[in-house]
Each structure stands twice: as C-alpha cells, then as structure tokens.
Structure 1
Amino acid sequence: MRAPIGDFTDARPAPDCLDLLTGPVAVAVRAWTGPVPADQVLYVDTDPAIADTAVFVEHHGADLLDTSANCVVVAARRGGDTTLAACVVGSATRVDVNGVVRRHLGARKASFAPADTATGESGMEYGGITPVGLPADWPLLVDAAVADTPWVLVGSGRRRGKLILPGKALAQLPGAVVLEGLGVPVTREG
C-alpha cells in the first residue's frame, strides 16, 4: 500500500507489524480504540542513518516537512516533585518549554528530560519516541496545528521505522491535551 504522505510505497497497518514496534507501542496499537480505527495507523520502514529531518525529507518527500512531528519528553519541576510529559510539535517548530509547557503543567521549571530518562521511562529508543504507547500517567501535550493535520508522520518507538496516522488520532491518545501555540517557529540567528 502507498502511504498517504511521503514517498513510501510499502505502508502497512501497524496492527500487522507489531513485531517491528517496541513493547509499549505494540501494546498500545493492539489495544487501540476510538474514532480512528487501528488500521489507519500505518507503519513504514525507514533507514535510521537518514533520520535527521532535512536528510529524511530530501529522501522521502518534501511534503513531510509540513506533515512530520517530533515527540519530545520534558521534565517539569515544582518543589521536590518532577513530572514527565511528552510534547508533540511539528518538525519545523520547537516546543515552547518555558512558556506553554511550564504554565500548563503548573511547574516552576521545565526542561527537556535527559535522554536516558526519556528512553528508560518510555521504553522507546532515543530519536524514535512516539506519542503512541507512552506511560499512562504522563500528560501528552499535542500542538493544535499537528492535531489538525490530515496525516502526520511520527516515530515508531525505534529509530528504524515511522508511524503515519491522522492528526486527530493524536488527540484521542491517553492523557492527550491539545494546546494552541505549543510549537513555535524555529528562528535562525545569524
């Protein structure tokens, strides 16, 4: 099957590819419910050597710059408590950690979680963290622009492979909250 975005000729329903996903992602796909059917979550095989966004877009299609999203893990602190949360923003934007994230989570301080914390707590590989299959107690913050995108490319839980799903499916994931302005344009200083 041809993917609805990008230049992928071998897209397969994720429920048919559970063995290619990390444990938490496979469990989430297996238990998938909601208005978007599980067979609309597609898996595409990708080469981890070209995972950098610019190279990936050049190889798999320019439309992916506007339809791919990153899932990053943040650590929000208030007093002695730390809350891990995931943020999904378009790949051409950055997460507003010190504004939208910090305020939404009621934190005094918020920052990107260390890689070993993000991977250890999520059960996913660095560079492949996906909003599908995150720990149930994590808030999942989704930029409204991403949720409004017809098809979105995100990680699969591993550096190899990606998931393609309707943006509105991200809003139905456990713990999901859709926020305006979560992703802000990347500015280049020079």
Structure 2
Amino acid sequence: MAIGTLDWVRAAERLDLLAEPVARAVAGLDGVEVAEIDPTLADTAAFCERYGVSLAESANCVIVAAKRGGEVRYAACMVLATTRVDVNGVVRRHLDARKISFASQDDAVGLTGMEYGGITPLGLPEGWPVLVDEAVAAHPGVVIGSGVRHSKLALPGAVLADLKIAEVLRMAN
C-alpha cells in the first residue's frame, strides 16, 4: 500500500513495531502493513504533515466510556481525521448509555496495554465493540495507530469493518 512517503511492510514481518496486543491481533489478518515513524510525530496533524499523508487517509481511534446504572463499558470509535465522532448522539444511543465520555488517558492506556497516541482497534480487550464510521469502512487504504507511538498501520477500511467485534455506523458529524 503506498500512502505518503513511508516505507510500508507487511505487519506480520515487523511485529517488533507493534504493541503486544496488536501483534497478536494482526497475526491472522491480510492486508495490514506497518511503517516506522518518529514517535514525536505520532499525533495526527504532525504525522500527516511530515509523512505526506492526507487527513482523509488517516483515521483516529477514540476510546469512550459508556455509563448506565453504575456500570461502565468501553468501546472504540474509528473516524477519519477529517471528521468528529458524534459521541453524545449516535454513539451514546448505540451503546444504550445514559452518560458517555471520552475515556481518561490513564484508563485508555491501562486497559488497552497500548501507548497514548497509538491506540488502535486491533488488539483491544475482549468484549469491547469497535464502532467504525461508514467512511472508514469504505476507505481503500487508511492509516491508523499501531499500539505504540513509533509506528503506524495501513490497511483497507474493510479490514476494520470485518472484525468480529466491529459495527459499521454513520457516526461522524
């Protein structure tokens, strides 16, 4: 996959560039590539500018905490970097939550085993749904986190949509 100026290789060939839970998750997936990056440039805007990747080719993973009746459930939301997740509308209703918020950085990192700024839907804890915006699902090649800040993954959006924990929704506003 040729996205930006990065040197992409099959993710299965460079498991050292992935967080441990991500390495386990990509083992059986086709079409997933990885590229090493400067970890100080992992945040979307800086990454895209430095590596020639458009915001429309980059997807962000947002971890949300859905609360109802004293129970807290977590989910990942995948949207293109050009859009925002409708957390308080579509996502809250879909997760049947009374209250929803972005997960704290400590919770997101501690629960996923991934680095902040590199969290990805691949390798999330069991039982967490992955809500994939329809624009991401239809994308031919999108860049996402790898679980660490020193690399990125590239894959067709259909790979995310086809995860058994994924649900495709129109959730961007």
- Who is 1:183 aligned against? 172
Q: Quick one: which of 77, 93, 97 aligns to 2:67?
A: 77
Choose 115-124 or 46-55, whichever is displaced more: 46-55
Letter in 1 for 2:12: P
Distance 1:25 1:53 in 2: 19
Structure of greater Rg: 1
Q: Name the structure 1 match of 2:9.
A: 12
Q: Which residue among 47, 50, 60 is the counterpart of 1:56?
A: 47
Give the TM-score, by structure 2 length. Answer: 0.96
**3-state SS in 1 of match to 2:23:** helix
* Distance in 2 between residues matched to 1:174 and 1:43, nearest whole Å: 22
Per-residue CA shift, 1:24-58, capped at 9, x if unaligned? Answer: 001111233xxxxx2x1000111121223222222
- Match of residue 57 from structure 2: 67
CA contact (8 A) 1:136 1:174 kept: no
- SS of the residue corresponding to residue 100 of structure 1 reads helix
Aligned pairs for 1:108-147 within 5 A: 108-147=98-137
CA contact (8 A) 1:64 1:153 kept: no
Higher relative contact order (CA 8 A, sep 6+): 2
Aligned residue among 147, 150, 157 for 1:160: 150
**Are positions 1:148 and 2:167 aligned together?**
no
Q: Tell me the distance in 2 between the aligned counterparts of 1:85 and 1:130.
A: 11
Q: CA deviation at 1:136?
A: 2.3
Residue aligned with 2:84, SS:
strand
What number of residue pairs does the alignment pair up? 173
Letter in 2 for 1:145: A
Structure 1 residues not aligned, in runs of 5+: 33-37, 185-190
Provide the rounded CA distance (Å) in 2 between the counterparts of 1:135 and 1:52: 23
Q: Quote the Cα distance in structure 2 between the aligned partners of 1:154 and 1:65.
A: 11
Alpha-carbon RMSD across the aligned residues, in angstroms, is 1.2
Separation in 2, partners of 1:71, 1:56? 15
Change in 2 beyond 3 A, CA 1:174/1:135:
farther
Cα displacement (A) at 1:4: 1.9
Residue 95 of structure 1 and its aligned partner are, at CA, apart by: 1.3
Give SS of 1:95's match: coil
Letter in 2 for 1:18: L
For residues 119-141 of structure 1, what are the alpha-carbon distances to aligned partners after superposition, in whole Å with 9 as ceiling and x for unaligned? 11111100000111111200110
Q: Percent identity?
A: 57
